[in-house]
């Protein structure tokens, strides 16, 4: 058991001898057991150097080694669900020396990525996709006449996603040859039922039992009453000792639960089950953070970690300059508790993001008003709609990238019926090292086209609190989107003031150029405004826009630059263009934001530069405005000239 994060590179002779996943197949059982120890130590060391996810990866060390030993990878397909658990897979498949670059610009992705390695058979960032994609591969094999094996690994709560159950049901009907390994780290599925469950699982996974089972099918199916009785008896036995009856009813052959850290048993079972015809489920139990004491004791806190910095000792003459600004998620969490104290109608909903969304305090203080629906974003939105129908005031706390999964429900179940639901949208904009699967850059574009909805984009933590208050009071669909991480350090007022919906604010008066800023990118806009003597407007609301102020700005400024940390196509800047066009105002406008491409993982500051929304890029855009307009294009944005349509 490791009790400390290694600061020096651990000795890993077996791991060093591997040059990709193929050689794992040639190792003896003794060598494989030692490989697990080396892999665990190296993973902890490498993540200590770079930061990143490691708790789930520590829990699947034995599983990863077993898969690459038993299977003919990459010919056989391994499909991972929830990319957090794939660091050991990356290390074993030729990327060990690149682990120092993980989640950095031009380095390894923190998730499986098809363009990164032939061993990454399917890209993943959102959960519950593995069974569907693996089923597609299995059916593709059938069409092509291939006998390659397909294994999906789903876990870390992903089995709670509705998409996973849709795939389970469809596969039960189509009966593709595939194996699903349910990695149960005891954080999402029921408690272990003791030694009896493991004993029966060993029997059910044995070649003898499988042979008897398949032979009995052929014999007893000829005598229907006897077959019905035998099938019922088997299901009742399994129902007493393992949670497999549901899967069996859906048409899957279920084995488990097995100890996911028992490498010899795991290898034998995977080898047996992956050769069977039809859909198979192997249920294993693992410990998240296995092998590192602190992570085993606190699997939530050690889901991921920052890199270990060697900090200089503080000078005794220097005092702390002040407290760190609160995270936006904490601002939301505090507001939620304040609002619930004043309004008993408030109910809060989260799709398995309690800690990340800052809701722990609320969940403990108001348990009867709190609903964690697991990884089920569609259900979360429609549940809120149903609650609103009964006069309650639901608040849905959700990450921007995950709200995409509940988009139809937002339109069909909330907006069309104009129901009173407030959406607190966390992780909006560019999120940094988690990359394109987790960026929240499309929300402004996909939300503002929906009738009835109000959309706020606060520029700091105090305005965020005010907007939450205003949107909660608004009787209809309303959304406040805010970024990952800490605020800028403004004073959060004790008394919440209303942030008047649809009203912007001029925060700096300048000369011929105006910068219309949406969201927390305002800090970059102000730096650029100071250096170019531009007027800067904190737009605050994306819908409804402050149309009167926009028209006034257009009449008094020769050039307008809109800036947002979201998609240019259809975003807030596009809304400004549309309003000027609607008003028949001819203006020279450049829209800055996220271009029409997926932005790779990097630190957020680097991503701002890539998109041209950092202060220096804004200054360059303003200084080069004349040339940009004459060329009618910009490397960072789009230029719009509006015809005077009457």
- Per-residue pLDDT tens digits for 386-428: 999 999 999 999 999 999 999 999 999 999 999 999 999 999 9
288 and 353 housed in the same domain: no
Q: Same structural domain for residues 337 and 398? A: yes
CATH number at residue 346: 3.40.50.970
Q: Could you give the number of structural domains in the chain? A: 3
Domain contains 312? no
334 is catalytic: no
pTM score above 0.75: yes
- Residue 58 included in any domain: yes
Give start and end residues of each alpha helix (H) in 242-366: 245-249, 263-273, 293-297, 328-342, 360-365
Least confident of 219-228, 273-282, 352-361, 603-612: 219-228
Can you tell me the distance from the alpha carbon of 454 to that of 449, in angstroms, rounded to the nearest whole number?
A: 11
Summarize pLDDT for 16-39 with one digit per residue, the tens. 998 766 689 999 999 999 999 999
Is 419 a domain residue?
A: yes
Give CA–CA dist 345/464, Å, rounded.
Answer: 22
101-110, 147-156, 381-390, 448-457: the lowest-pLDDT one: 101-110
Answer yes or no: do 350 and 463 share one domain: yes
429 occurs within a structural domain:
yes
Q: Kind of pairing, strands 346-350 and 77-80? A: unpaired
- 171 shares a domain with 72: yes
Q: What is the pLDDT of residues 221-241, one digit of tens each?
A: 666 666 566 666 655 555 545
pLDDT of 238 reads 55
Do 288 and 362 have their domain in common? no
- pLDDT, tens only, 571-588: 999 999 999 999 999 889
Residue 454 sits in the same domain as residue 594: no
Are both 465 and 521 inside the same structural domain? no
DSSP state letter for 600: P
Q: Produce one character per residue of 48-80: b if its CB has 16 or more CB atoms within 10 Å, e if not.
A: bbbbbbbbbbbbbbbbbbbbbbbbebbebbbbb
Same domain, 632 and 562: yes
* C-alpha dihedral sign at 158, 163, 165, 168: negative
Which of 55-64, 185-194, 535-544 tops mean pLDDT?
A: 535-544
User: Where would I find the H helices in 274-312?
Assistant: 293-297
Identify the residue with better confidence: 82 or 423: 423
The CATH number linked to 632 is 3.40.50.920
Confidence of residue 186 (pLDDT cuts 50, 70, 90): low
Find the catalytic residue in 290, 405, 448, 543.
Answer: 405
- Are 185 and 258 contained in the same domain? yes
> Is residue 151 in some structural domain?
yes
User: Is residue 558 annotated as a catalytic residue, yes or no?
Assistant: no
Residue 229 within any structural domain of the chain: no
Of the listed 90, 113, 288, 290, which one is catalytic?
Answer: 288
Question: Are 39 and 175 within one domain?
Answer: yes
Residue 148 falls in the annotated catalytic set: no
Structural domain for 443, as ranges: 328-483
Catalytic residue among 38, 377, 461, 524: 377
Same domain, 290 and 379: no
Region of residue 314 (left: phi > 0; alpha: psi -120 to 50; beta: else): beta
From 414, 449, 483, give the residue that closes a domain: 483
Q: What is the pLDDT of residue 120?
A: 92
Residue 352 shares a structural domain with residue 440: yes
Answer yes or no: is 263 within a domain.
yes
| Residue 285 domain flag | yes
Q: How far apart are CA 453 and CA 473, in angstroms?
A: 13
Q: What is the pLDDT of residue 564?
A: 97
Split at pLDDT 50, 70, 90, the class of 634 is very low
């Amino acid at each position: 058991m490791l009790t400390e994060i290694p600061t020096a590179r651990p000795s890993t002779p077996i791991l060093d001898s591997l040059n990709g996943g193929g050689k794992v197949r040639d190792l003896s059982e003794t060598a494989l057991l030692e490989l697990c120890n080396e892999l665990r130590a190296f993973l902890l060391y490498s993540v200590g150097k770079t930061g990143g996810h490691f708790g789930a990866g520590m829990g699947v060390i034995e599983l990863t080694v077993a898969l690459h030993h038993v299977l003919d990878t990459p010919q056989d397909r391994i499909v991972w669900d929830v990319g957090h658990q794939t660091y050991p897979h990356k290390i074993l498949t030729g990327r060990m020396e690149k682990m120092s670059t993980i989640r950095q610009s031009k380095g390894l992705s923190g998730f499986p990525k098809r363009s990164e390695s032939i061993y990454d058979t399917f890209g993943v960032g959102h959960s519950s996709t593995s069974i569907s994609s693996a089923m597609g591969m299995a059916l593709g094999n059938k069409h092509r006449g291939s006998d390659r094996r397909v294994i999906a690994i789903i876990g870390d709560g992903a089995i709670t996603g509705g998409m996973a159950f849709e795939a389970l049901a469809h596969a039960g009907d189509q009966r593709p040859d595939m194996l699903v390994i349910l990695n149960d780290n005891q954080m999402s599925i029921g408690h272990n039922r003791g030694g009896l469950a493991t004993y029966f699982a060993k029997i059910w996974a044995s070649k003898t039992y499988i042979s008897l089972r398949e032979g009995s099918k052929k014999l007893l199916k000829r005598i229907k009453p006897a077959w019905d009785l035998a099938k019922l008896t088997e299901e009742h036995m399994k129902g007493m000792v393992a949670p497999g009856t549901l899967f069996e009813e859906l048409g899957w052959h279920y084995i488990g639960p097995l100890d996911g850290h028992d490498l010899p048993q795991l290898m034998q079972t995977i080898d047996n089950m992956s050769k069977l015809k039809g859909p198979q489920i192997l249920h294993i139990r693992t410990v998240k953070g296995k092998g590192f004491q602190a992570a085993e004791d606190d699997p939530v806190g050690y889901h991921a970690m920052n890199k270990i910095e060697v900090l200089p000792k503080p000078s005794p003459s220097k005092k702390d300059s002040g407290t760190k600004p609160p995270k936006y998620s904490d601002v939301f969490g505090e507001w939620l508790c304040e609002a619930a104290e004043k309004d008993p109608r408030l109910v809060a909903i989260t799709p398995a993001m309690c800690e990340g969304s800052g809701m722990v305090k609320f969940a403990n203080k108001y348990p009867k008003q709190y609903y964690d629906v697991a990884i089920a974003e569609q259900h979360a939105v429609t549940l809120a709609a149903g609650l609103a129908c009964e006069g309650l005031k639901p608040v849905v706390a959700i990450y921007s990238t995950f709200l995409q999964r509940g988009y139809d429900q937002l339109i069909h179940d909330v907006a069309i019926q104009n129901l009173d639901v407030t959406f607190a949208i966390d992780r909006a904009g560019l999120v940094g090292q988690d990359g394109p699967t987790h960026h929240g850059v499309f929300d402004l574009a996909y939300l503002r086209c929906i009738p009835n909805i109000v959309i706020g984009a606060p520029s700091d933590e105090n305005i965020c609190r005010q907007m939450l208050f205003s949107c909660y009071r608004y009787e209809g669909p309303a959304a406040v989107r805010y970024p990952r991480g800490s605020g800028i350090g403004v004073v959060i007022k004790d008394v919440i003031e209303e942030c008047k919906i649809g009203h912007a604010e001029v925060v700096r008066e300048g000369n011929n150029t105006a910068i219309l800023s949406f969201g927390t990118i305002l800090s970059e806009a102000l730096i650029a405004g100071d250096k170019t003597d531009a007027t800067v407007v904190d737009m605050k609301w994306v819908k409804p826009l402050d149309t009167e102020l926009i028209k006034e700005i257009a009449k008094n400024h020769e050039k307008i630059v809109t800036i947002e940390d979201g998609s240019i196509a259809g975003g807030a800047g596009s809304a400004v263009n549309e309003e000027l066009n609607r008003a028949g105002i001819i203006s020279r406008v450049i829209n800055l934001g996220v271009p029409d491409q997926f932005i790779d993982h990097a630190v957020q500051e680097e991503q701002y530069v890539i998109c041209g929304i950092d202060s220096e890029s804004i200054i360059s855009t303003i200084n080069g405005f004349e040339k940009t307009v004459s060329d009618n294009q910009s490397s960072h944005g789009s230029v719009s000239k509006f015809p005077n349509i009457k």
